[in-house]
Amino acid sequence: MEKARTVGIAMDYSSTSKAALRWAGENLIREGDRVILIQVQPPQSDHTRKQLFEGSGSPLVPLEEFREINFSKQYGLTYDSEVHDILDTVSRAKGAKVVAKVYWGDPREKLIDAVEDLKLDSLVMGSRGLGCCQKGVAWEC
């Protein structure tokens, strides 16, 4: 059996980030992998959890807690049942452990921080369609 990997998936709830999440679930994630849904909130957002975790980002939040509407409200996130359904499928069908993490700041900087802090093996993110990739891209870290 291959070594379990840690796969980060950048999520901003756009159609392209959802497509990248679906793509990762169908093509990249294997049994036993750890999937971290990474969300970056703007620095000006003002939610209760930001005051606690602005410097380091939130703790890793298990899928069960991430599913709750109160979690989304506390962190100022979009509650999206489509994203939750995809994550549930990845968790059940692939046997992957799914968690979420929230950062505050510039997404470009915070995604780089996430690669280092979370020791990601890959980072998957959607594409805005400005380059050659239309559905998403995965980088090995």
- pTM of the predicted model, to two decimals? 0.84
| Beta pairing partners, 7 | 35, 122
CB 141 within 8 A of CB 123: yes
What φ, ψ does residue 97 adopt, rounded to 5°? -90, 120
Is the pLDDT at 5 greater than 70, yes or no?
A: yes
- Domain ranges, residue 72: 6-140
Assess if residue 19 is contained within a domain. yes
Backbone φ/ψ region at 97: left (φ over 0), alpha (ψ -120 to 50), beta: beta
CB 138 within 8 A of CB 33: no
Assess if residue 85 is contained within a domain. yes
Six-digit token pair at 65?
């807690």
Assess if residue 87 is contained within a domain. yes
Is the pLDDT at 17 greater than 60, yes or no?
A: yes
- Cα dihedral 71, 77, 78, 80 in deg (nearest 10): -50
Is the pLDDT at 50 greater than 60, yes or no?
A: no
- Per-residue model confidence (pLDDT) at position 132: 47
The domain total for the chain is 1
Model confidence band, residue 1 (pLDDT cutoffs 50, 70, 90): low
Q: What is the pLDDT of residues 66-108, one digit of tens each?
A: 888 777 777 778 789 999 999 999 999 999 999 999 998 889 9
Is the pLDDT at 133 greater than 50, yes or no?
A: no
Assess if residue 1 is contained within a domain. no
Q: Can you give the CATH number for the domain in which 30 is found?
A: 3.40.50
